[in-house]
Structure 1
Amino acid sequence: MISDDIGKRILCLSFNQTNTCLAVGSTKGFRIIRLEDSKTIIKRDEDSQSNFPGGFSLVIPVFSTPLICLVGSSSNARYPFNTVYFWDDYKTSSEAEIHFRFEVKNALVRRDRIVIILEKITYVYVLNNLQALASIETISNEKGVGAISYDKDIFVLVSLSKEPGHLRMENFYTNEVKSGQVHENPITYVAIDFIGSIGASASAQGTIIRVFDCAKLEVLYELRRGSRPAEISSIAFSPNQNYLVVTSNKSTVHAWKLEKKEKSYTSMISRYLPNYFQYSRSLGKLSLKTEIDLTCPYSNITGPKACFFTENEFFIACLDGNIHKCSIHPVSGEISIAQSLQYFGLSSVSVVERGRTWNNIE
């Protein structure tokens, strides 16, 4: 069990489907923050509220509705981690739930469907009646890797295949299925754009990001994040797919401009060069020096999370309780922070747990 001395810790961060809200799961409950002004619009993690002891490992808002999908943490006796709860915040109650034998690793929600990811199988359900539509066997998926499109007319699901480094794409409206290798090492993160046209993935190495065509699973770009291994914590496409932003457990933010490359003398001889010289390097890089890590050993998040709100502007939610509003310069590619706001308040009280200083949160 989590020590009460640790106080309120961050267990998970996620954005809603339209990138207008940030959901924060903590050891005391959850809250929803409106990104445009960093205002908390739902707060269910008050210390006086004893309904959610142990908190939630997954908090998934359903667009801007009062419906929120919740999965409990390993220390939540009332809401276990093998059950998805459909919380109606207007009624302040759970209206439905789906039970599994094993831990729920991730959940992806559209207006009409919900995808639930377990370690070795991924399920698809109709959202309004929770009727099971499909089950997909995968390789071991401890990270809950998967991504879906949110456009109402296109339902694309990208999940892990049965082989290391392979992805599986299924378009549920056209019944197209495609599998293929994207990485040499096990894949630990994948994201696709709003309409399911292109995606990007990272392996356990975290040094190379591969952007691919979703329909064919053909690699379009190979982007070098760095030479040292890192765990990718988020990948985000801009609305028109001109930019890609990647964050990692190194508290770094990298941005690329996704431009079509014309054939040239250099590209014709590139096949003779080592692969290292053929990767596209990031236009901009931002190092976020997180002074306080407000997570705990039970957290499932390892680094900051990013989402775009305009074509060259994006938010970064950090583990120190701050949201940074950032922009990418259209020419130089430089990343700059325009504004920083706090979504998780701090107090001056501190305790020591496992040889480490924690700051309590009101």
Structure 2
Amino acid sequence: MSQRGAPDAVDMPALRLGGHVSTSALDPALVGMVSFGLLGEPVLVDLAPARSFDVVALQQLLSAMAARARSGHPTRLRLPVAAVARHQLRLWRFPDAVSAVTRTPFQHVVLAEDHAYFGEEWPAHAAGEGSHSPRASVHAYLSAQHCFGLRPYPLTDPGTRQRMLPDEVSHWGGHALMRLLESVLAGPAADVLRVLVQEMVSGVPQRSHASVALIGAQLELPGSADGTGVLTISEWDDGDLQPYWLRKAIGTGPLAREVFRVHRAGRQMESYHARRRPLPDTDDAELLLASVVRSSPYDPDPAEGGWGSHRIYSLYKSVVDTFRGVLRIDSGRHRLEVSADPLGGYRIDLASGPRLPDQQGCLVSARLPVRDA
């Protein structure tokens, strides 16, 4: 069934998302959409009661819409009733992202009754706590410049593939953004560009069958209405992160010496180290775990013909050691989070199974704590 013309029928199964749309709210909704047999039918994503959004949750939602589009199943959207929530979606380029992942004009995905919102005046910002601080003013300026939110990249265009990394380097290297990050992060702002952005983005063109990517960014300042003091940087693409790719991702160079304490529901804590090699018939969860544990500071770099740090190794070292944050990887029905262990080394929380939605492609996100001035 194609998505031609503005949809106006609403008697379809609905995925209703209200309040603050976060991963914890979206996970059961996406699981329910599939488990109740709705995957092959037209589905309405009802954002009418939504008031604010987490950027990673939006990437999860958009990845599900992308998977449905690839299977020929339409998804419709009802926009938030709250003007501030609609404004957030505009600032975050959500309409562009929807069009990119569904390959359908945004107005053809949105219910016809919501077309009245198109072209509306942007609401005045309510002055929240700390809204008059210099940092909040810079944040508001950068938000108005679409510095945060979603940046879609259709990878079927060779030119876009080539421009993706330079565009992101230019975006994150902006003077105002760098100065703001210098004032709020525990580590050097230059490492956000030098390590996190480059390592996340540079691997996307090499992922097999990737046709679209979304780069996400969100900065919540301490004291803001919904903010808990976190910078989120994330990347999703619809390429393969399957056993073949995971086996290639496992380090082949000199091994690191890090120790990981792995926590899984229903199991005792297990200690992993780089010399713990996965068995040939090991499952996807163990392969995902091995791709982190066995990542090496000295992996061969095929592009340069020399040696360089493995991307996953560079990511978790930077996120956890430099910025004291959490690195998360979602693939299939597996979610892995790397953080600092209070006993030393690293803690890995690995969740798997039917309580998680089936993440299409690969979603990598870093959450870095933001300090008060």
Check whether TM > 0.5. no
User: Which protein, 1 or 2, shows the higher relative CO under an 8 Å CA cutoff with sep ≥ 6?
Assistant: 2
Greater percentage in strand: 1
Name the TM-score, length of structure 1 as normaliser: 0.32
Greater percentage in helix: 2
Name the TM-score, length of structure 2 as normaliser: 0.31
